[in-house]
Structure 1
Amino acid sequence: MEPDGTSRADPAVGERLRALREARGVSLSALARAAGIGKATLSGLEHGTRNPTLETLYAVAGALGVPLTALVLAPGDPPGAAADVRGAAVTATLLEVFEEAGATFELFWMRVRPGVVQHSPPHAPGVTEHVTVHQGVLRAGPGPVPLVARAGEHISFEADVPHVYGTVGPDEVVANLLIRSPR
């Protein structure tokens, strides 16, 4: 992790990103526009010279219509091979990836830092997020009406719209996040 909260630049992430973009016949400019990020940022990600935030990775994955693990994990690699990803408030560690005929499930161990709200871009259509809180009080969900969950509680929401993650109060939140992405 870099001091500015970004993940270390990983050339393999850039290679997977470029391969996915090219397989879909999408130009660098078009993907940057669809993801809502700068073309220079996207080019830097593809060349392994930019350090992606969690928000940027999700914006690109959503625009490509793929789960986050398609960018951060090489096919056949175990989930533990993926580096932690960090956003403005969230640090996520990939624990497992489950594949079914109609969906991919990504299970993360997540920490949410207090005092910061993370604004997450929409994921691909039909993506849902399911959070079980182990410690602290979490406020998460669609931007205008986030849900609140305390330790021992669970929330679910559609994540194909802008959504937020933050804490209620001064304590860090520790939770599991399960993301379901339809194929």
Structure 2
Amino acid sequence: MSELVHAVEIGMRIQRLRRERGLSLSELAHRAGVGKATLSGLEAGTRTNPTVETLYSIAGQLGVPLAAVLPEPVAADHAQTGDAATTFHGAAVSGTLLEAFTDAGVTTELYRLRIRPGRTQTSPPHPPGTVEYLTVFAGHARVGPADAPLTVGAGGHVRWAADVPHIYVATGEAEVVATLLIRSPEVRS
């Protein structure tokens, strides 16, 4: 799938969720702290490279996990035929949604994650009860609550409550290669 097709799908998802919640474009833009033109471009599918920070802000204000605004993950059999998965980028991270599902009122998202050295990625709090699990395959990272981050290296695994501001930092010279699992309870309105 092309970047444009992904952008159109992201825009349609955001617009549908916004309308289901009875929010105007201006109101959602204000709540999410993004420009009205930015949100309008996202919904129209003309803004093809939104940052993870922007997408998280919008998803958070819509009360949904990030996976709800991203295109469906590409099945392994389609990945071999040239369909590309959606990769998002932030200040320090790049992530690809591999799998997302909901059961028993909990949404589980699995991402392939890369953390670039020399930068800090700050993630806003997710809904209460959200937990993140990071398994590192290469490199060393400092992740978790911004006020008490955890250190983890290749072969290691950490988890933290993600309902507070949290960070991702590669602590060495090498890029961190990891998987990130996010479990979020269903947000009830």
| Matched residues, number | 176
Pick the aligned partner of 2:64 from 63, 66, 73. 66
Q: Secondary structure at the match of 2:135?
A: strand
The corresponding residue for 2:159 is: 156
2: CA distance, partners of 1:64 / 1:125: 15
1:182 and 2:179 matched: no
| Structure 2 spans left out of the alignment, 5+ residues | none
1:99 and 2:102 matched: yes
1:89 and 2:92 matched: yes
Q: Deviations over 1:97-143 (max 9, x none)?
A: 23212111011111111111112222233222110111111111122
Residues 1-183 of structure 1 aligned to structure 2 (within 5 Å): 10-50=7-47, 51-74=49-72, 78=75, 82-183=85-186
1: CA distance, partners of 2:113 / 2:24: 33
Q: Please state how far the C-alpha of 1:160 moved relative to its aligned partner.
A: 2.3
TM-score (norm 2): 0.84
Identify the range of structure 1 (120-129 vs 11-20) with the bigger mean alpha-carbon deviation: 120-129
Q: Secondary structure at the match of 1:72?
A: coil
Q: Deviations over 1:63-90 (max 9, x none)?
A: 111111111125x974866411111111
Q: Deviations over 1:34-62 (max 9, x none)?
A: 22222221111111122211111111111
Q: Secondary structure at the match of 2:101?
A: strand
**Quick one: percent identity of the two aligned structures?**
55
Letter matched to residue 123 of structure 1: H
2: CA distance, partners of 1:73 / 1:49: 16
Q: Secondary structure at the match of 2:37?
A: helix
Report if aligned partners of 2:74, 2:98 keep a CA contact under 8 Å in 1: no
Identify the range of structure 1 (18-27 vs 65-74) with the bigger mean alpha-carbon deviation: 65-74
Decide which structure has the larger Cα Rg and report it: 2
Q: Secondary structure at the match of 1:31?
A: helix
Identify the range of structure 1 (122-131 vs 103-112) with the bigger mean alpha-carbon deviation: 122-131
